[in-house]
Amino acid sequence: MPRYALKIEYHGQAFYGWQRQNDLPTVQRALEQALGKLEADLPNIAAAGRTDTGVHGLGQVAHCDMQKTWSTEKLKGALNFHLKPNKIAVLDCALVDPNWHARFSAVGRDYVFRLVCRRAPVTHDAGLVWQSRHPSLDIDSMRAGAAYMLGTHDFTTFRSTMCQAKSPVKTLDVLDLSAHDYHAGNEIRFHVKARSFLHNQVRSLVGSLERVGAGTWAPERMAEALAAKDRSACGPVCPPDGLYLENVRYSSDVFTKHKAD
C-alpha cells in the first residue's frame, strides 16, 4: 500500500484535540472521514503529535496508507474538498517510503505561543491568542526566566499529572521570546523547540513565565520551580488559546523532496 505524508493546518477551537474520541469532533476523525470518502476500509492515520483540545495546527504532519497510487495534488485536492466545512486544510502531500512514520521518523517539534497584553477584550483573535490583562509584561525578565529551562532536565513541575510519558526528562532546545505590535496592546510570541514534549509542558512554561513578566515571580523562581520536581510549584497553566504546532522536523524534508522530484 502506498504511504502518503500530509502537512495539515487547522483551527483547533472547534475540536477536542487531534486524537479520535468516541462521538466527539477531533481533527483525526475529520480527516479519516474525508479519507473514507475516497477509499473504504483504510487503516487509521498517524500524526506527529497529539495536540490537545483547542490547540491549533500550522504544520501538523500525518501519514496515511492508500489502496491505490494517487497523484499527490489530486489526493490533496480531494481531501480538502471532503473536509469542508471543517476548519482543516491539507497544505501539502507527498508519497513516502512505506517505513516512514509521521511520529517515529520526526526529529523535532516546533511550537509557537501567542500572548497578547491589553486590557480591552480581544475580538478578531478570540480563541487564537491568550490574553493577559496586564498592559505590558517585562520581556527581559521573562527571557531570563526562560534561560533556566534550556537543556536536559526533569520537567515534572511543568507537566500534567495526567501525562503518560514514561520519563519526565526532556531536552528543551529553544525557548525564545519575541515582541510584536498588537492593536491597542502588544504581543509576545514564545518559540519552543524540542524533539518531544510532555503533556501540557509548553502551556505550563508559558503560564509560569507570564507570572515572571507581571512581576509576581522573580526570574530565579523558574529555576526553583524546575528543581522542585513538584507539580504544585508550577505557575498557572495557560489555556490552549494561542498555542500552535508550527512545524515538525525530519532528517529529510519529504515535502521539499517530492517537489524536487
Per-residue pLDDT tens digits of the chain, which is 261 residues long:
899 999 999 999 999 999 998 889 999 999 999 999 999 887 779 999 999 999 999 999 999 999 999 999 999 999 999 999 999 999 999 999 999 999 999 999 999 999 999 999 999 999 999 999 888 899 999 999 999 999 999 999 999 988 889 999 999 999 999 999 998 889 999 999 999 999 999 999 999 999 999 999 999 999 999 999 999 999 999 999 999 999 999 998 889 865 655
> How many structural domains compose the chain?
2
Q: Within a domain: residue 261?
A: no
Do residues 52 and 178 both lie within one domain?
no
Cα–Cα distance measured from residue 186 to residue 202, given in angstroms and rounded to the nearest whole number:
21
- CB-CB contact of 49 with 18 (8 Å): yes
Domain range holding 199? 108-246
**Residue in 52, 92, 110, 241 annotated catalytic:** 52
176 is catalytic: no
Question: Where does residue 184 rank: exposed (0-12), middle (13-18), buried (19+ CB within 10 A)?
Answer: exposed
Do residues 120 and 213 both lie within one domain?
yes
Do residues 142 and 162 both lie within one domain?
yes
Q: Within a domain: residue 252?
A: no
Q: Within a domain: residue 123?
A: yes
